[in-house]
Structure 1
Amino acid sequence: MSHSLWWRCAPQNLAHHQPIRLRRLQKPCAGTFPHVRACIFDLDGLLLNTEDIYSLCANTVLARYSRPPIPWSLKAQLMGVPGSSNGEAFHQWAQLPISREQYKAEQQIEQNKMFPMCEVLPGAKQLLEQLSQAMTEADGRKVRIALASSSVTSNLKLKTSRPDINEMIRLISEKHRILSDHSRMKGKRGKPAPDIFLTALQVINEQLDPSEDEIRREECLVFEDSVPGVEAARRAGMMVVWVPHPELYQHWAARESEVLAGTTGLVKLDGLDQTASPGKTNDGWGEKLGSLEEFEYRKYGIRRHSGDVVGSRIWITNKKDGR
């Protein structure tokens, strides 16, 4: 599958929806973390190669009308943002001779053909399998996992129609899957606002045993591939692992510290800074990986079900010393 373009689509523009207001967090010193009790995953471009499929489908329609592929300067703004694939920024650039409704219909026809052929990205299934049975190093409590994706339900069904992919996604409880058209997201904003990650944490906490303390935002680790998604995680007060597409990373490598802090300002949402602050540069609450295969459980105080013996907390600035 070509890596020339990544793409995201969702049913609506959430930029004007009511924000979730956050309390201020007192974060630990740079370089240290709380032990992780919950991991929240994006989907497209992180677990599945569907970002490349979005790209292929979009470029197919664009080429039909003699339009070029989208430049990365625009693509980065569209990734992870609900409604952006058929939004104002895209159409201002594309200048297509067809209506938005027709473009959306033609794009969906291509997606319906291609999504069932998607593939699992390296390390995704193994990571979910491990985390689904993992415990916290601190007190042996079960690590919870959730999905927080700007995709929509109908597209998720297509993407997970193959038995092997369906088996992987079932590692995440259906109650813990928050998509952009989920009833709990009504009236809330999409990424880069933190709403979808806070909603995912809310549903996790609702399913905890009464004897368990609620999981705090600072005890959550988000896995993301997009720049707006990383910003959403940081504005939610959560730690983040950024696993970007190689071509996306080429364009953002020089600003990696800004991406990990959630301070790029790539996508603007009215009032966002008044309701949810990003992180700070080099505060140690984010790291970039080339693949999910590189994830270090011990760094985040997670004991894998295979019997890892884990020592005390690891600093994020330490040399990588185990998976």
Structure 2
Amino acid sequence: MQAVIFDMDGLLIDSEPFWKQAEFDVFSSVGVNVTEDLTALTAAMTTREVTEFWFAKQPWKDASLEEVENRVVERVKYLIETQGQAMHGVHNLLNSLQEAKVKIGLATNSPKDIIPSVLQRLNIADYFMAYSSAEEVTKGKPAPDVYQLTLEKLGIEAHQCIAFEDSLGGVKAALAAGIKPIAVPHTDEYDHEKFDLASYKLRSLSEFNHQIGKSLLA
């Protein structure tokens, strides 16, 4: 195990409620009726895809898509910087990987501007050798692009690396990049059969040990 690549939202930081709040606040402010059933569909999208989704449903007139998208990002950044909390096991796992001289990267569908806010809020920036956002590639997860870019930045081959993901789209992205994914689903989804696609499954990052990583890459 030469490297580990982490997803960000819902895996390193409990930020998904912030994205929901920002989505509701910003799109409601331009006249969109944001409903719970439709926000379930936008959860795995990039910020641009979410903005285009709501505009297609209920177009607004007084702001460009880019302006509205930027408002969402700024709202999420504020919530992260003032309220963000690490998920269970994050600090201990990063520390143990660093001690083992494992390269650590991050691959997220979130905008690039948000990554430093998360890393600084959790005080984990020094652990990461590389990070990539879906903004830097052609397609976000479940396409493999953001993982492929992070591998390139780390100087690592896919077969030397494992990935941690909390979503099915992320698991699919890692697999498509040739990386063995470990799923860390949210509690209410842990037993869902969709995560059978992952190479391994944990209830939290605190359950991981290096023997698991070695066995996946054997």
Q: TM-score range by the shorter chain?
A: 0.7 to 0.9
Considering only aligned residues, what root-mean-square deviation do their CA atoms show, in Å? 2.9
1:308 maps to none
2:17 maps to 52
Cα gap change, 1:68 to 1:239, in 2 (>3 Å): same
In the TM superposition, residue 87 of structure 1 has moved relative to its aligned partner by 2.6
- 1:113-128 matches, cutoff 5 A: 113-117=78-82, 118-128=84-94
Q: Distance in 1 between matches of 2:184 and 2:216?
A: 20
Matched, 1:157 2:109: no
Match of 1:298 among 195, 205, 211: 211
Q: Who wins on radius of gyration, i.e. which is larger? A: 1
Deviations 1:208-247 (A, max 9, x none): xxxxxxx432221011122211111001111001112335
Q: Distance in 2 between matches of 1:222 and 1:55?
A: 25
1:198 maps to 148
Match of 1:168 among 124, 130, 135: 124
Matched, 1:61 2:61: no
Compare 219-228 and 145-154 and name the one that shifted more: 145-154
Q: Distance in 1 between matches of 2:131 and 2:69?
A: 25
Compare 146-155 and 48-57 and name the one that shifted more: 146-155
1:277 maps to none
* Secondary structure of 1:222's aligned partner: strand
Please say if residues 61 and 103 of structure 1, whose CA atoms lie closer than 8 Å, have aligned partners that are also in contact.
Answer: yes
In the TM superposition, residue 82 of structure 1 has moved relative to its aligned partner by 6.0
Give the fraction of aligned pairs with identical amino acids, expressed as a percent: 24
* Secondary structure of 1:83's aligned partner: helix
* TM-score, L = length of structure 2: 0.82
Please say if residues 76 and 226 of structure 1, whose CA atoms lie closer than 8 Å, have aligned partners that are also in contact.
Answer: no
Match of 1:256 among 165, 182, 195: 195
Cα gap change, 1:201 to 1:104, in 2 (>3 Å): closer
In the TM superposition, residue 46 of structure 1 has moved relative to its aligned partner by 0.8
Matching residue's letter, 1:124: V
Please say if residues 42 and 50 of structure 2, whose CA atoms lie closer than 8 Å, have aligned partners that are also in contact.
Answer: no
Matching residue's letter, 2:44: M
1:227 maps to 168
Q: Distance in 2 between matches of 1:255 and 1:58?
A: 26
Matching residue's letter, 1:149: T
In the TM superposition, residue 150 of structure 1 has moved relative to its aligned partner by 2.1
- Structure with greater helix percent: 2
Q: Distance in 1 between matches of 2:194 and 2:141?
A: 19
In the TM superposition, residue 255 of structure 1 has moved relative to its aligned partner by 2.9
Q: Distance in 2 between matches of 1:105 and 1:221?
A: 32
In the TM superposition, residue 107 of structure 1 has moved relative to its aligned partner by 2.4
* TM-score, L = length of structure 1: 0.58
Structure 1: gaps (5+ residues):
1-35, 135-141, 206-214, 261-285, 302-312, 317-323
1:39 maps to 4
Please say if residues 62 and 69 of structure 1, whose CA atoms lie closer than 8 Å, have aligned partners that are also in contact.
Answer: no
Q: Distance in 2 between matches of 1:43 and 1:178?
A: 10
Matching residue's letter, 2:204: S
Q: Distance in 2 between matches of 1:108 and 1:82?
A: 8
Q: Distance in 2 between matches of 1:246 and 1:218?
A: 29
Matched, 1:111 2:65: no
Structure 2: gaps (5+ residues):
none
* Secondary structure of 1:132's aligned partner: helix
- 1:127-142 matches, cutoff 5 A: 127-134=93-100, 142=101
2:133 maps to 179
Give the total of aligned pairs: 214
Cα gap change, 1:103 to 1:202, in 2 (>3 Å): closer
Q: Distance in 2 between matches of 1:109 and 1:314?
A: 39
